[in-house]
Amino acid sequence: MLLSAEEVRQFEDEGFIFVPDLFNVEELAVLKGEIPAIFAERRPEIVREKSGDVVRTAFATHTYNDVYRRFVSHPRILEPARQLLGGDVYIHQFKLNGKAAFDGDVWQWHQDYGTWQRDDDMPEARAMNLAVFLDEVNEFNGPLYIVPKSHKSGVLGAGHDVETTSYPLWTLDQDTVARLIERGGIAAPKGPPGSGFFFHGTLVHGSPPNMSPWDRLIVYVTYNRTDNAIRRFKRPAYIAHRDFTPLSVLPDDCLTAP
């Protein structure tokens, strides 16, 4: 699946594209069917909230789960990523962000490429994220907040927050975020399960805690150009991957007819 010229223009201008109904009900059932077993595992890839035993993030699931191994090479996400980045890609990072009902904690304002540059020595911002909603995302269950056009500001100054949540993050200060929102506004992509959301590596984003009774599970894949591979191996390999092998596209029915 390739994006239209208008969608590519929107990505370049706004820093994101929202695609409703990217995956169907049958495919979602396959993806969600793996979650209970994954979240029940006790392994370093699975980070839990400070508040208790609730899963915050499950990293690198595609390396030990066959369904998600196939998912990252699905043509509806891999082909647009190669199109937007202009070449072959590999997986820099994979995560299932749980944000459970009542217990899902905040993700502070940040830029992903800021972390990839500082911690992983990724040469350029030629990497991007793909998010697929596995649950409905609404205004109540901690939707992702984004600042349109903020990707055009480049890498912004950030502080390393190791206290707020169970996962350390390079975060932006309030004055910077307020200035960017005054210029570009703020948006919160929402939609049914199966919706897809492509966004630029320097797009400023964050999310509030989930105070609702509804889970908000999103799968994130970070694609990076193979000629833009990281050069520092400071973080665990399950967070910043070392396998720079270019991905090959699988058939469109790879989730339902493996």
* DSSP assignment of 188-231: ---BSTT-EEEEETT--EEE----SSS---EEEEEEEEGGG---
Residue 151: its pLDDT value, please?
Answer: 95
Q: Collect all residues with Cβ–Cβ distance below 8 Å to 132 and sequence separation of at least 6.
A: 22, 23, 31, 77, 194, 195, 196, 197, 218, 219
State the chain's maximal CA–CA distance in angstroms: 50
CATH of 6-228, one of 2.60.40.2220, 3.30.70.520, 2.60.120.620, 3.40.190.10: 2.60.120.620
The pTM of this model reads 0.93
For 59-93, write each residue's pLDDT tens digit.
999 999 999 999 999 999 999 999 999 999 999 99
Residue 163: its pLDDT value, please?
Answer: 56
Residue 166: its pLDDT value, please?
Answer: 52
| Helix, strand, or coil (residue 30) | helix
Higher pLDDT, 52 or 48: 48
Enumerate the H helices of the chain as residue ranges. 5-14, 25-33, 35-40, 66-71, 75-85, 112-120, 174-184
DSSP annotation of 165 reads S
Please tell me the least confidently modeled range out of 35-44, 148-157, 163-172.
163-172
Nearest to 147, CA basis, from 184, 202, 197, 191: 184
Average pLDDT over residues 126-134: 97
Residue 96: its pLDDT value, please?
Answer: 95
pLDDT at 99 over 80: yes
Domain layout of the chain by residue ranges: 6-228
